[in-house]
Structure 1
Amino acid sequence: MKCKQDVFEKLKGKLIVSCQALPEEPLHSSPFMGKMAYAAMLGGAAGIRANSVEDIREIQETVQLPVIGIIKQVYEGSDVFITPTCKEIDMLYRQGVEIIALDATSRIRPDGTTISEIFPKIRESYKEQLFMADCSTYEEAVEAHRLGFDCVGTTLSGYTEYTKGRSLPDLELMKQLAQELPIPVIAEGGIWTPEELKSVFTAGVHTAVVGTAITRPMEITKRFIAAIS
Protein backbone atom coordinates (compact mmCIF):
# COMPACT_ATOMS: atom_id res chain seq x y z
CA MET A 1 0.00 0.00 0.00
CA LYS A 2 1.32 3.44 -0.92
CA CYS A 3 0.71 6.32 1.46
CA LYS A 4 -0.30 9.25 -0.73
CA GLN A 5 0.85 11.84 1.76
CA ASP A 6 4.30 10.27 2.10
CA VAL A 7 4.91 10.09 -1.66
CA PHE A 8 3.66 13.58 -2.43
CA GLU A 9 5.43 15.08 0.59
CA LYS A 10 8.74 13.69 -0.69
CA LEU A 11 8.13 15.45 -4.01
CA LYS A 12 6.74 18.76 -2.77
CA GLY A 13 8.79 21.71 -3.96
CA LYS A 14 11.37 19.36 -5.43
CA LEU A 15 12.50 18.32 -8.91
CA ILE A 16 11.56 15.12 -10.73
CA VAL A 17 13.91 14.15 -13.54
CA SER A 18 12.56 12.24 -16.52
CA CYS A 19 15.07 9.58 -17.61
CA GLN A 20 14.00 8.40 -21.06
CA ALA A 21 15.67 7.75 -24.40
CA LEU A 22 13.98 6.86 -27.66
CA PRO A 23 15.12 3.82 -29.69
CA GLU A 24 16.95 6.03 -32.21
CA GLU A 25 19.00 7.76 -29.50
CA PRO A 26 22.51 6.58 -28.47
CA LEU A 27 21.57 6.33 -24.78
CA HIS A 28 18.63 4.01 -25.42
CA SER A 29 19.30 1.19 -22.95
CA SER A 30 18.23 0.35 -19.43
CA PRO A 31 21.76 0.44 -17.93
CA PHE A 32 22.20 3.97 -19.32
CA MET A 33 18.89 5.07 -17.83
CA GLY A 34 19.88 3.57 -14.49
CA LYS A 35 23.09 5.62 -14.52
CA MET A 36 21.15 8.69 -15.63
CA ALA A 37 18.78 8.29 -12.68
CA TYR A 38 21.74 7.86 -10.34
CA ALA A 39 23.32 11.06 -11.67
CA ALA A 40 19.99 12.86 -11.22
CA MET A 41 19.77 11.63 -7.64
CA LEU A 42 23.32 12.82 -6.89
CA GLY A 43 22.35 16.18 -8.35
CA GLY A 44 19.42 16.49 -5.95
CA ALA A 45 16.42 15.06 -7.81
CA ALA A 46 13.62 13.87 -5.52
CA GLY A 47 11.92 11.58 -8.04
CA ILE A 48 12.28 9.93 -11.43
CA ARG A 49 9.89 9.59 -14.36
CA ALA A 50 10.71 6.64 -16.58
CA ASN A 51 9.40 4.66 -19.52
CA SER A 52 9.19 0.84 -19.84
CA VAL A 53 9.37 -1.92 -17.27
CA GLU A 54 12.97 -2.67 -18.24
CA ASP A 55 14.19 0.86 -17.59
CA ILE A 56 12.14 1.19 -14.41
CA ARG A 57 13.48 -2.09 -13.01
CA GLU A 58 17.05 -0.90 -13.59
CA ILE A 59 16.29 2.49 -12.03
CA GLN A 60 14.64 0.94 -8.98
CA GLU A 61 17.74 -1.18 -8.43
CA THR A 62 19.96 1.89 -8.72
CA VAL A 63 18.20 4.63 -6.75
CA GLN A 64 15.75 4.78 -3.86
CA LEU A 65 13.49 7.53 -5.19
CA PRO A 66 9.77 7.60 -6.01
CA VAL A 67 9.17 6.60 -9.63
CA ILE A 68 6.48 7.90 -11.97
CA GLY A 69 6.16 5.04 -14.42
CA ILE A 70 4.83 5.09 -17.96
CA ILE A 71 4.87 2.77 -20.92
CA LYS A 72 4.86 4.40 -24.32
CA GLN A 73 3.06 2.16 -26.78
CA VAL A 74 1.67 3.16 -30.16
CA TYR A 75 -1.57 1.51 -31.29
CA GLU A 76 -2.94 1.92 -34.79
CA GLY A 77 -5.89 4.28 -35.00
CA SER A 78 -5.24 6.20 -31.76
CA ASP A 79 -3.06 9.17 -30.85
CA VAL A 80 -2.96 8.06 -27.21
CA PHE A 81 0.41 6.40 -26.51
CA ILE A 82 1.34 7.14 -22.89
CA THR A 83 0.21 4.06 -20.92
CA PRO A 84 -2.70 3.71 -23.34
CA THR A 85 -4.40 0.47 -22.21
CA CYS A 86 -4.99 -1.64 -19.13
CA LYS A 87 -2.24 -3.99 -20.29
CA GLU A 88 0.40 -1.31 -19.74
CA ILE A 89 -1.16 -0.23 -16.45
CA ASP A 90 -1.01 -3.78 -15.13
CA MET A 91 2.65 -4.13 -16.13
CA LEU A 92 3.54 -0.96 -14.22
CA TYR A 93 1.45 -1.99 -11.25
CA ARG A 94 3.24 -5.34 -11.04
CA GLN A 95 6.59 -3.53 -11.18
CA GLY A 96 5.60 -1.54 -8.11
CA VAL A 97 6.02 2.06 -9.25
CA GLU A 98 4.84 4.69 -6.80
CA ILE A 99 2.82 6.59 -9.42
CA ILE A 100 1.45 5.38 -12.75
CA ALA A 101 1.01 8.17 -15.31
CA LEU A 102 -1.31 7.86 -18.27
CA ASP A 103 -2.76 9.99 -21.02
CA ALA A 104 -5.87 11.66 -19.60
CA THR A 105 -6.73 13.76 -22.64
CA SER A 106 -10.18 13.67 -24.21
CA ARG A 107 -8.88 11.71 -27.20
CA ILE A 108 -10.22 8.28 -28.09
CA ARG A 109 -8.07 5.50 -26.64
CA PRO A 110 -6.93 2.36 -28.50
CA ASP A 111 -9.82 0.34 -27.06
CA GLY A 112 -12.33 2.89 -28.36
CA THR A 113 -13.14 4.40 -24.97
CA THR A 114 -12.56 7.84 -23.49
CA ILE A 115 -10.70 8.42 -20.23
CA SER A 116 -14.04 9.29 -18.59
CA GLU A 117 -15.40 5.87 -19.53
CA ILE A 118 -12.37 3.74 -18.68
CA PHE A 119 -10.77 5.35 -15.63
CA PRO A 120 -13.55 4.51 -13.11
CA LYS A 121 -12.89 0.84 -13.94
CA ILE A 122 -9.14 1.33 -13.58
CA ARG A 123 -9.61 3.10 -10.25
CA GLU A 124 -11.77 0.23 -9.01
CA SER A 125 -9.23 -2.40 -10.07
CA TYR A 126 -6.22 -0.66 -8.50
CA LYS A 127 -7.66 0.99 -5.41
CA GLU A 128 -4.38 1.77 -3.63
CA GLN A 129 -2.32 2.74 -6.67
CA LEU A 130 -1.44 6.40 -7.22
CA PHE A 131 -2.35 7.68 -10.68
CA MET A 132 -1.14 10.80 -12.50
CA ALA A 133 -3.21 12.33 -15.30
CA ASP A 134 -1.16 13.61 -18.23
CA CYS A 135 -3.36 16.43 -19.52
CA SER A 136 -3.24 19.11 -22.21
CA THR A 137 -6.04 21.47 -21.13
CA TYR A 138 -7.72 22.90 -18.06
CA GLU A 139 -10.91 20.98 -18.81
CA GLU A 140 -9.06 17.66 -19.04
CA ALA A 141 -7.35 18.26 -15.69
CA VAL A 142 -10.64 19.16 -14.00
CA GLU A 143 -12.22 16.01 -15.40
CA ALA A 144 -9.23 13.94 -14.22
CA HIS A 145 -9.73 15.24 -10.70
CA ARG A 146 -13.44 14.39 -10.89
CA LEU A 147 -12.59 10.87 -12.03
CA GLY A 148 -10.34 10.26 -9.04
CA PHE A 149 -6.79 10.79 -10.29
CA ASP A 150 -4.38 11.51 -7.44
CA CYS A 151 -2.47 14.25 -9.26
CA VAL A 152 -2.52 16.02 -12.61
CA GLY A 153 0.28 17.05 -14.94
CA THR A 154 0.52 19.56 -17.76
CA THR A 155 2.55 16.99 -19.68
CA LEU A 156 0.61 17.10 -22.94
CA SER A 157 -0.06 20.83 -23.29
CA GLY A 158 1.22 21.72 -26.75
CA TYR A 159 1.32 18.09 -27.84
CA THR A 160 -2.31 17.44 -28.73
CA GLU A 161 -3.83 18.51 -32.03
CA TYR A 162 -5.96 21.11 -30.27
CA THR A 163 -3.14 22.63 -28.17
CA LYS A 164 -0.40 22.84 -30.80
CA GLY A 165 1.42 26.16 -30.85
CA ARG A 166 1.05 26.89 -27.15
CA SER A 167 4.01 28.60 -25.56
CA LEU A 168 5.81 26.20 -23.24
CA PRO A 169 6.10 25.84 -20.34
CA ASP A 170 2.38 26.53 -20.09
CA LEU A 171 2.55 28.82 -17.06
CA GLU A 172 -1.01 30.03 -17.42
CA LEU A 173 -2.39 26.48 -17.27
CA MET A 174 -0.11 25.55 -14.37
CA LYS A 175 -1.16 28.58 -12.35
CA GLN A 176 -4.88 28.06 -13.01
CA LEU A 177 -4.75 24.40 -12.01
CA ALA A 178 -2.63 25.06 -8.92
CA GLN A 179 -5.13 27.67 -7.74
CA GLU A 180 -8.28 25.67 -8.43
CA LEU A 181 -7.55 21.97 -7.88
CA PRO A 182 -7.19 20.41 -4.41
CA ILE A 183 -4.80 17.70 -5.64
CA PRO A 184 -1.08 18.08 -6.51
CA VAL A 185 -0.35 19.75 -9.83
CA ILE A 186 2.82 18.57 -11.54
CA ALA A 187 4.43 20.96 -14.01
CA GLU A 188 5.79 19.17 -17.05
CA GLY A 189 6.55 20.07 -20.63
CA GLY A 190 8.98 22.52 -22.17
CA ILE A 191 10.97 23.44 -19.05
CA TRP A 192 14.43 24.14 -20.47
CA THR A 193 16.20 26.44 -18.01
CA PRO A 194 16.60 26.86 -14.23
CA GLU A 195 14.84 30.21 -14.62
CA GLU A 196 11.82 28.54 -16.22
CA LEU A 197 11.79 25.93 -13.46
CA LYS A 198 11.73 28.68 -10.86
CA SER A 199 8.85 30.37 -12.68
CA VAL A 200 6.69 27.23 -12.67
CA PHE A 201 7.16 26.84 -8.92
CA THR A 202 6.23 30.50 -8.52
CA ALA A 203 3.00 29.58 -10.34
CA GLY A 204 2.18 27.38 -7.35
CA VAL A 205 2.72 23.83 -8.62
CA HIS A 206 3.44 20.97 -6.21
CA THR A 207 6.43 19.61 -8.11
CA ALA A 208 7.91 19.70 -11.60
CA VAL A 209 9.35 17.28 -14.15
CA VAL A 210 12.32 18.17 -16.34
CA GLY A 211 13.43 15.66 -18.93
CA THR A 212 14.97 16.58 -22.27
CA ALA A 213 16.91 19.57 -20.92
CA ILE A 214 18.78 17.28 -18.52
CA THR A 215 18.82 13.73 -19.88
CA ARG A 216 18.82 13.87 -23.70
CA PRO A 217 22.22 15.11 -24.87
CA MET A 218 21.40 14.68 -28.57
CA GLU A 219 18.44 17.08 -28.27
CA ILE A 220 20.41 19.47 -26.08
CA THR A 221 23.19 19.57 -28.68
CA LYS A 222 20.67 20.25 -31.44
CA ARG A 223 19.47 23.35 -29.60
CA PHE A 224 22.99 24.71 -29.36
CA ILE A 225 23.64 23.95 -33.03
CA ALA A 226 20.41 25.68 -34.03
CA ALA A 227 21.56 28.79 -32.19
CA ILE A 228 24.64 29.13 -34.41
CA SER A 229 23.18 27.88 -37.71
Structure 2
Amino acid sequence: MNKEADSVIPYQGLVVSCQALQDEPLYGSHHMVAMAMAAKEAGAAGIRAGGLADIKAIKEAAGLPLIGLVKIQHENSEVYITPTLEDALAIHAAGADIVAVDGTGRLRPDGRTLAETIAGLKRAGAAVMADIATFEEGMLAAEWGADYVSTTLCGYTRETAGTPLPNLDLLERLAAVLDIPVVAEGGISEPRQAADALRLGAAFVVVGSAITRPQWIAARYVQAMRGPVSGGSGEAER
Protein backbone atom coordinates (compact mmCIF):
# COMPACT_ATOMS: atom_id res chain seq x y z
CA MET A 1 0.00 0.00 0.00
CA ASN A 2 1.20 3.51 -0.81
CA LYS A 3 0.40 5.17 2.50
CA GLU A 4 1.11 8.65 1.16
CA ALA A 5 -1.23 8.29 -1.82
CA ASP A 6 -3.90 6.85 0.46
CA SER A 7 -4.01 9.91 2.74
CA VAL A 8 -6.59 12.69 2.50
CA ILE A 9 -4.11 15.06 4.16
CA PRO A 10 -0.75 15.75 2.49
CA TYR A 11 2.12 13.79 3.98
CA GLN A 12 4.52 15.45 6.40
CA GLY A 13 2.16 18.39 6.88
CA LEU A 14 0.97 20.21 9.97
CA VAL A 15 -2.65 19.83 11.06
CA VAL A 16 -3.79 22.51 13.48
CA SER A 17 -6.45 21.58 16.01
CA CYS A 18 -8.87 24.52 16.23
CA GLN A 19 -11.10 23.73 19.19
CA ALA A 20 -12.37 25.58 22.24
CA LEU A 21 -14.48 24.27 25.09
CA GLN A 22 -17.70 26.00 26.02
CA ASP A 23 -16.19 27.66 29.09
CA GLU A 24 -13.17 29.04 27.22
CA PRO A 25 -12.83 32.63 25.90
CA LEU A 26 -12.51 31.60 22.23
CA TYR A 27 -15.55 29.33 22.17
CA GLY A 28 -17.65 29.98 19.06
CA SER A 29 -17.38 29.20 15.35
CA HIS A 30 -16.31 32.73 14.39
CA HIS A 31 -13.24 32.44 16.61
CA MET A 32 -12.38 28.96 15.34
CA VAL A 33 -12.75 30.04 11.72
CA ALA A 34 -10.29 32.86 12.38
CA MET A 35 -7.87 30.37 13.95
CA ALA A 36 -8.22 28.05 10.97
CA MET A 37 -7.62 30.84 8.50
CA ALA A 38 -4.50 31.91 10.39
CA ALA A 39 -3.28 28.31 10.32
CA LYS A 40 -3.93 28.10 6.58
CA GLU A 41 -2.01 31.32 6.03
CA ALA A 42 0.92 29.80 7.93
CA GLY A 43 0.94 26.78 5.62
CA ALA A 44 -1.06 24.21 7.58
CA ALA A 45 -2.03 21.12 5.58
CA GLY A 46 -5.28 20.51 7.44
CA ILE A 47 -7.50 21.35 10.41
CA ARG A 48 -8.90 19.28 13.26
CA ALA A 49 -12.19 20.69 14.54
CA GLY A 50 -14.91 19.73 16.99
CA GLY A 51 -18.67 20.17 16.81
CA LEU A 52 -20.97 20.30 13.80
CA ALA A 53 -21.19 24.10 13.64
CA ASP A 54 -17.41 24.57 13.72
CA ILE A 55 -16.82 21.80 11.19
CA LYS A 56 -19.25 23.31 8.69
CA ALA A 57 -18.00 26.87 9.17
CA ILE A 58 -14.29 26.01 9.00
CA LYS A 59 -14.70 23.73 6.00
CA GLU A 60 -16.54 26.43 4.09
CA ALA A 61 -14.12 29.20 4.99
CA ALA A 62 -10.73 27.48 4.91
CA GLY A 63 -11.29 24.72 2.38
CA LEU A 64 -8.52 22.59 3.90
CA PRO A 65 -8.84 18.85 4.58
CA LEU A 66 -10.65 18.56 7.91
CA ILE A 67 -10.61 15.98 10.68
CA GLY A 68 -13.91 16.23 12.54
CA LEU A 69 -15.03 15.05 15.96
CA VAL A 70 -17.40 15.89 18.75
CA LYS A 71 -16.77 15.72 22.49
CA ILE A 72 -19.65 14.55 24.65
CA GLN A 73 -19.46 13.25 28.21
CA HIS A 74 -21.74 10.34 29.16
CA GLU A 75 -22.34 9.05 32.67
CA ASN A 76 -22.07 5.41 31.59
CA SER A 77 -18.83 5.68 29.62
CA GLU A 78 -15.34 7.19 29.72
CA VAL A 79 -15.42 7.62 25.93
CA TYR A 80 -15.90 11.28 25.00
CA ILE A 81 -14.32 11.73 21.55
CA THR A 82 -17.13 10.97 19.09
CA PRO A 83 -18.67 8.48 21.51
CA THR A 84 -21.44 7.00 19.34
CA LEU A 85 -21.89 5.91 15.74
CA GLU A 86 -24.74 8.43 15.45
CA ASP A 87 -22.32 11.21 16.44
CA ALA A 88 -19.76 9.97 13.93
CA LEU A 89 -22.23 9.82 11.06
CA ALA A 90 -23.39 13.36 11.84
CA ILE A 91 -19.79 14.59 11.65
CA HIS A 92 -19.37 12.88 8.29
CA ALA A 93 -22.58 14.49 7.03
CA ALA A 94 -21.36 17.90 8.22
CA GLY A 95 -18.47 17.74 5.77
CA ALA A 96 -15.53 16.29 7.68
CA ASP A 97 -13.06 14.60 5.35
CA ILE A 98 -11.94 12.30 8.17
CA VAL A 99 -14.02 11.32 11.20
CA ALA A 100 -12.03 10.93 14.43
CA VAL A 101 -13.37 8.42 16.95
CA ASP A 102 -12.17 7.05 20.27
CA GLY A 103 -9.99 4.11 19.24
CA THR A 104 -9.66 2.51 22.65
CA GLY A 105 -11.41 -0.62 23.83
CA ARG A 106 -13.46 1.23 26.42
CA LEU A 107 -17.22 0.74 26.68
CA ARG A 108 -19.09 3.06 24.32
CA PRO A 109 -22.33 4.70 25.44
CA ASP A 110 -24.30 3.23 22.52
CA GLY A 111 -23.09 -0.30 23.30
CA ARG A 112 -21.24 -0.72 20.01
CA THR A 113 -17.69 -1.98 19.77
CA LEU A 114 -14.99 -0.02 17.98
CA ALA A 115 -15.11 -2.56 15.16
CA GLU A 116 -18.86 -1.99 14.73
CA THR A 117 -18.41 1.79 14.82
CA ILE A 118 -15.70 1.70 12.15
CA ALA A 119 -17.78 -0.65 10.00
CA GLY A 120 -20.79 1.68 10.21
CA LEU A 121 -18.70 4.66 9.13
CA LYS A 122 -17.11 2.74 6.27
CA ARG A 123 -20.55 1.76 4.99
CA ALA A 124 -21.37 5.48 4.87
CA GLY A 125 -18.22 6.17 2.86
CA ALA A 126 -16.33 7.96 5.65
CA ALA A 127 -12.59 7.92 6.26
CA VAL A 128 -11.93 6.98 9.89
CA MET A 129 -9.20 8.09 12.29
CA ALA A 130 -8.87 6.00 15.46
CA ASP A 131 -7.56 8.01 18.42
CA ILE A 132 -5.66 5.41 20.43
CA ALA A 133 -3.63 5.24 23.64
CA THR A 134 -1.60 2.03 23.29
CA PHE A 135 0.24 -0.02 20.68
CA GLU A 136 -2.28 -2.85 20.95
CA GLU A 137 -5.19 -0.46 20.39
CA GLY A 138 -3.51 0.90 17.29
CA MET A 139 -2.99 -2.57 15.85
CA LEU A 140 -6.61 -3.56 16.49
CA ALA A 141 -8.00 -0.33 15.02
CA ALA A 142 -6.04 -0.92 11.84
CA GLU A 143 -7.19 -4.54 11.71
CA TRP A 144 -10.81 -3.40 12.04
CA GLY A 145 -10.55 -1.01 9.11
CA ALA A 146 -9.46 2.40 10.43
CA ASP A 147 -7.86 4.53 7.72
CA TYR A 148 -5.62 6.38 10.19
CA VAL A 149 -4.31 5.68 13.68
CA SER A 150 -3.44 8.66 15.90
CA THR A 151 -1.64 8.69 19.25
CA THR A 152 -4.11 11.28 20.58
CA LEU A 153 -5.24 9.51 23.75
CA CYS A 154 -1.93 8.24 25.08
CA GLY A 155 -1.63 9.63 28.60
CA TYR A 156 -5.36 10.24 28.93
CA THR A 157 -6.69 6.77 29.71
CA ARG A 158 -6.41 4.90 33.01
CA GLU A 159 -3.83 2.51 31.56
CA THR A 160 -1.60 5.25 30.19
CA ALA A 161 -2.05 7.98 32.81
CA GLY A 162 1.25 9.64 33.65
CA THR A 163 2.97 8.68 30.39
CA PRO A 164 5.45 11.41 29.40
CA LEU A 165 4.25 13.23 26.31
CA PRO A 166 4.66 13.30 23.42
CA ASN A 167 5.05 9.53 23.27
CA LEU A 168 7.21 9.32 20.16
CA ASP A 169 8.21 5.74 20.97
CA LEU A 170 4.58 4.65 20.51
CA LEU A 171 4.41 6.56 17.24
CA GLU A 172 7.61 4.95 15.95
CA ARG A 173 6.49 1.43 16.87
CA LEU A 174 3.15 1.81 15.10
CA ALA A 175 4.62 3.48 12.01
CA ALA A 176 7.10 0.64 11.63
CA VAL A 177 4.45 -2.07 11.35
CA LEU A 178 1.21 -0.54 10.06
CA ASP A 179 0.27 -0.16 6.40
CA ILE A 180 -1.94 2.85 7.12
CA PRO A 181 -0.89 6.39 8.04
CA VAL A 182 0.08 6.88 11.68
CA VAL A 183 -0.50 10.37 13.06
CA ALA A 184 1.40 12.10 15.85
CA GLU A 185 -0.85 13.93 18.29
CA GLY A 186 -0.82 14.66 22.00
CA GLY A 187 1.62 16.74 23.99
CA ILE A 188 3.48 18.24 21.04
CA SER A 189 4.41 21.68 22.31
CA GLU A 190 7.62 22.53 20.42
CA PRO A 191 8.43 22.65 16.68
CA ARG A 192 11.38 20.35 17.31
CA GLN A 193 9.02 17.64 18.59
CA ALA A 194 6.89 17.89 15.44
CA ALA A 195 9.97 17.52 13.26
CA ASP A 196 11.10 14.52 15.32
CA ALA A 197 7.69 12.91 14.84
CA LEU A 198 8.03 13.14 11.06
CA ARG A 199 11.50 11.65 11.21
CA LEU A 200 10.12 8.71 13.22
CA GLY A 201 7.44 7.91 10.69
CA ALA A 202 4.43 10.14 11.35
CA ALA A 203 2.30 10.73 8.27
CA PHE A 204 1.51 14.18 9.63
CA VAL A 205 1.43 15.98 12.96
CA VAL A 206 -1.54 17.45 14.83
CA VAL A 207 -0.88 20.35 17.21
CA GLY A 208 -3.60 22.06 19.23
CA SER A 209 -2.97 23.86 22.52
CA ALA A 210 0.53 25.09 21.67
CA ILE A 211 -0.89 27.00 18.68
CA THR A 212 -4.58 27.73 19.28
CA ARG A 213 -5.07 27.92 23.04
CA PRO A 214 -3.83 31.35 24.10
CA GLN A 215 -4.68 30.94 27.77
CA TRP A 216 -2.39 27.91 27.95
CA ILE A 217 0.34 29.63 25.92
CA ALA A 218 0.24 32.70 28.16
CA ALA A 219 0.21 30.54 31.30
CA ARG A 220 3.52 28.97 30.28
CA TYR A 221 5.14 32.40 30.31
CA VAL A 222 3.54 33.33 33.62
CA GLN A 223 4.64 30.06 35.23
CA ALA A 224 8.16 30.27 33.80
CA MET A 225 8.55 33.77 35.20
CA ARG A 226 7.47 32.53 38.63
CA GLY A 227 9.46 29.29 38.61
CA PRO A 228 9.88 25.93 36.83
CA VAL A 229 7.15 24.93 34.37
CA SER A 230 6.32 21.39 33.30
CA GLY A 231 6.84 20.34 29.69
CA GLY A 232 3.35 18.92 29.12
CA SER A 233 0.82 20.55 26.85
CA GLY A 234 -2.46 20.47 28.73
CA GLU A 235 -5.50 18.43 27.81
CA ALA A 236 -5.58 15.72 25.17
CA GLU A 237 -5.87 17.55 21.87
CA ARG A 238 -7.87 20.27 23.60
- The TM-score, its normalising length taken from structure 2, stands at 0.90
Alpha-carbon spacing, 1:47–1:164, altered in 2? closer, same or farther (3 Å): same
Amino acid in structure 2 at the alignment position of 1:139:
E
**Aligned partners of 2:179, 2:172: CA distance in 1, in Å?**
13
**Aligned partners of 2:198, 2:105: CA distance in 1, in Å?**
27
**Aligned partners of 1:55, 1:119: CA distance in 2, in Å?**
23
Instruction: Could you tell me which runs of 5 or more consecutive residues in structure 1 were left unpaired when the two chains were aligned.
Output: none
Look up the match of 1:125.
123
Instruction: Could you tell me which runs of 5 or more consecutive residues in structure 2 were left unpaired when the two chains were aligned.
Output: 227-238
Whether 1:29 and 2:55 are equivalent positions in the alignment is no
Cα deviation, residue 132, structure 1: 0.3
Amino acid in structure 2 at the alignment position of 1:227:
A
Look up the match of 1:38.
37
Whether 1:214 and 2:208 are equivalent positions in the alignment is no
Whether 1:225 and 2:222 are equivalent positions in the alignment is yes
Q: Superposed, which structure 2 residues align to 1:145-184 within 5 Å?
A: 145-184=142-181
SS in 2 for 1:187: strand
Write out per-residue CA displacement over residues 79-137 of structure 1, whole angstroms, 9 at most, x where no aligned residue.
10000002211211211211000001011111234324x235414532x2100000000
Aligned length: 224
**Aligned partners of 1:113, 1:129: CA distance in 2, in Å?**
17
Cα deviation, residue 138, structure 1: 0.2
Structure with a larger share of its residues in helix: 1
Cα deviation, residue 18, structure 1: 0.3
Maintained 8 Å contact 1:119/1:147: no
Look up the match of 2:236.
none
Alpha-carbon spacing, 1:6–1:63, altered in 2? closer, same or farther (3 Å): farther
Runs of 4 or more, structure 1, over 3 Å off, are: 4-7
Cα deviation, residue 9, structure 1: 6.0
**Aligned partners of 1:41, 1:124: CA distance in 2, in Å?**
29
Alpha-carbon spacing, 1:38–1:124, altered in 2? closer, same or farther (3 Å): closer
Amino acid in structure 2 at the alignment position of 1:62:
A
**Aligned partners of 1:64, 1:7: CA distance in 2, in Å?**
19
SS in 2 for 1:11: coil
Q: Superposed, which structure 2 residues align to 1:125-144 within 5 Å?
A: 125-126=123-124, 128-144=125-141
TM-align CA RMSD: 1.6
Q: Superposed, which structure 2 residues align to 1:176-195 within 5 Å?
A: 176-195=173-192
